[in-house]
């Protein structure tokens, strides 16, 4: 099939979920003759601005994939892309990737732009968190940085404080700007996940690994598809538009008041979704194709 399709080049600035990404690269090449040019070959290799400009000069890049672990050096990547002012579409856009690095920025944007979605009350300072504790709230304390490399998800959660003494104990040794405070809604053994690729959306059952009795059988580890209401679908897709993402995931719990969003991921791994690789590649191909059609239409109008 690839021999009958023109060669297209995609630039990848990716150092997260490399195993899944290698499958995406292979699928794009095999089925669409799309060559993925890696700017970062592995997680340890630092970003090189000169290498970026060389790749852009050498190849007619049609698309950029941005998928990063959370690291202070990411600022260099964002700055370089913004200064180059490229007229090349990015999956997902720079601001969305930057926002999802920080839990605070993520939930600040949720509060501002997605008022019809429900999520636990977020506290953006220790003062506000302590005040909530005095009003009877329990506070879950997490690291603010989201996609940290080589750090298990459980280690990103510092603790759940029921009172001021526990709160002070958990935050000792941390800087306030490195922490994220949110109302703890209680223990839920099941945390559902939603995966979005363009217009396609699916929800699956996951499990709460914070459960101290976490010891699931192979059958329980199977991710079962579950229905999702049309209203919730619309609101999730609207969330994607507000953030500037077309491929993303959310974690949510089902409460008596409906679904509550507890996490948002730009470009998750899709390991639990067997058809995820092909759907992502189809989506990338379609976005490139739509851009080329628009370009040809402009040329025709000018002609």
Give the per-residue pLDDT at 25: 97
Instruction: Output the CA–CA distances (angstroms, integers) from residue 5 to 21, 59, 179, 201, 293, in the order listed.
Output: 22, 17, 49, 28, 15
Give the per-residue pLDDT at 43: 55
End-to-end CA distance of the chain: 33
Which residue shows structure tokens 């998928």?
Answer: 67
Give the per-residue pLDDT at 2: 47
Distance CA 16, CA 297 (A): 36
Global pTM value: 0.90
Distance CA 270, CA 191 (A): 16
Q: What is the pLDDT along the chain (303 residues), one digit of tens a residue?
A: 445 567 999 999 999 999 999 999 999 999 999 999 999 875 556 788 999 999 999 999 999 999 999 988 899 999 999 999 998 999 999 999 999 999 999 999 999 999 999 999 999 999 999 999 999 999 999 999 999 988 887 789 999 999 999 999 999 999 999 999 999 999 888 889 999 999 999 999 886 655 555 555 544 545 789 999 999 999 999 999 999 999 999 999 999 999 999 999 999 999 889 999 999 999 999 999 987 776 555 555 665
At residue 262, φ and ψ (nearest 5 deg) are -115, -10
Give the per-residue pLDDT at 291: 78
Give the per-residue pLDDT at 216: 54
Give the per-residue pLDDT at 1: 47
The DSSP letter of residue 145 is B
Does domain 2-92 fall under CATH 3.40.50.2300? My reply is: yes
Burial state string for 203-224 with b = 16 or more CB within 10 A and e = fewer than 16: bbebbeeeeeeeeeeeeeeebe
State the burial class of residue 25 (Cβ atoms within 10 Å of its Cβ: 0-12, 13-18, 19+): buried
At residue 27, φ and ψ (nearest 5 deg) are -65, -45
Give the per-residue pLDDT at 217: 54
CB atoms within 10 A of CB 297: 10
CB atoms within 10 A of CB 18: 16
What secondary structure does DSSP assign to 207-241, as a single string?
--TT-TT----TTTTS--EE---HHHHHHHHHHHH
Distance CA 34, CA 8 (A): 5
């Amino acid at each position: 099939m690839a021999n009958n399709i023109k060669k297209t080049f995609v630039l990848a600035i990716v150092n997260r979920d490399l195993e899944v990404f290698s499958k995406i690269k292979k699928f794009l090449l095999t089925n669409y003759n799309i060559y993925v040019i890696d700017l970062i070959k592995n997680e340890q290799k630092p970003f090189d601005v000169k290498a970026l400009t060389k790749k852009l000069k050498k190849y007619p890049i049609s698309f950029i994939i941005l998928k990063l672990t959370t690291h202070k050096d990411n600022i260099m990547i964002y700055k370089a892309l913004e200064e180059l002012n490229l007229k090349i579409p990015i999956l997902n856009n720079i601001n969305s990737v930057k926002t999802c690095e920080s839990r605070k920025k993520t939930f600040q944007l949720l509060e501002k732009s997605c008022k019809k979605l429900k999520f636990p009350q977020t506290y953006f300072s220790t003062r506000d968190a302590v005040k909530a504790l005095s009003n009877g709230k329990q506070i879950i304390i997490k690291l603010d940085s989201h996609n940290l490399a080589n750090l298990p998800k459980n280690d990103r959660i510092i603790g759940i404080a029921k009172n001021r003494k526990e709160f002070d104990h958990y935050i000792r040794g941390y800087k306030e700007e490195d922490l994220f405070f949110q109302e703890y809604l209680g223990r839920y053994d099941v945390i559902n996940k939603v995966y979005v690729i363009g217009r396609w959306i699916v929800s699956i059952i996951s499990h709460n690994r914070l459960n101290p009795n976490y010891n699931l059988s192979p059958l329980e580890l199977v991710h079962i598809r579950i229905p999702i209401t049309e209203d919730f679908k619309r609101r999730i897709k609207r969330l994607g538009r507000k953030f500037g993402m077309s491929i993303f995931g959310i974690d949510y719990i089902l409460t008596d008041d409906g679904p509550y969003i507890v996490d948002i991921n730009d470009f998750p791994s899709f390991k639990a979704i067997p058809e995820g690789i092909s759907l992502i590649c189809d989506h990338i191909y379609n976005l490139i194709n739509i851009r080329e059609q628009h370009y040809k239409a402009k040329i025709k109008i000018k002609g």
